[in-house]
Amino acid sequence: QKEVEQNSGPLSVPEGAIASLNCTYSDRGSQSFFWYRQYSGKSPELIMSIYSNGDKEDGRFTAQLNKASQYVSLLIRDSQPSDSATYLCAVNMKTGNQFYFGTGTSLTVIP
Amino acid sequence: NAGVMQNPRHLVRRRGQEARLRCSPMKGHSHVYWYRQLPEEGLKFMVYLQKENIIDESGMPKERFSAEFPKEGPSILRIQQVVRGDSAAYFCASSPYARGEAFFGQGTRLTVV
């Protein structure tokens, strides 16, 4: 089992819709969770961080964490074409020091 | 506050040469991570350093690769005797503390010809 798993997509949503991105992780003791956005040919950009169970909202973005289910998600409301990118889930596990990244979910927002 | 600075942005090396990639973390950040990314693939962890110390190098090949983060100056990722398979984007990220938010530099695109 991979440390962090994401549905690779591609995921397509119409403009204005809600995009839902999901991520599961293997280490139950993980404590820090992050979502990054990466445009083609660019570097990853931090969007959200979440450390405790529940929801965390920032503008159009909501991160949701469920440690019991080892599941973290990102919701993008009112999706815009500029949201079209690859979204990377990253987890800092209890064991080890690195951030483990999923392979990313490609999102396309259709005008 | 400048972001994470990586240089060069693009680097071309012939097989057998050495590649030296530099990363200056954000001000106040003492934790540096190096990642490698191949086209259409995810980020692969290479090494995690704190000032003057290598904390975790489990993702870095034992041969030809080395990293350092001296007390003064940028972190350096060195690849000796490069081969075509080393061609990739190399990203550096920095964080103010362990397990904290990590911010990425623009990356160095290494091409081995």
- Whether B41 sits inside 8 A of A98 (CB atoms) is no
Buried b (16+ CB within 10 A) or exposed e, B13-31: beeeeebebbbbbbeebbb
Q: Is A101 on the interface with B (CB under 8 A)?
A: yes
User: Both tokens of residue B32?
Assistant: 């540096």
Distance, in Å, from the CA atom of A18 to the CA atom of A31, rounded to the nearest integer, reads 27
Residue type, A93: M
User: For every one of its 113 residues, what pLDDT tens digit does chain B have, with 9 covering 90 and above?
Assistant: 579 999 999 999 999 999 999 999 999 999 999 999 998 788 999 999 998 899 999 999 999 999 999 999 999 999 999 999 999 999 999 999 887 899 999 999 999 99
B98 vs A contacts (CB less than 8 Å): 97
Looking at this protein, which amino acid is placed at residue A103?
T
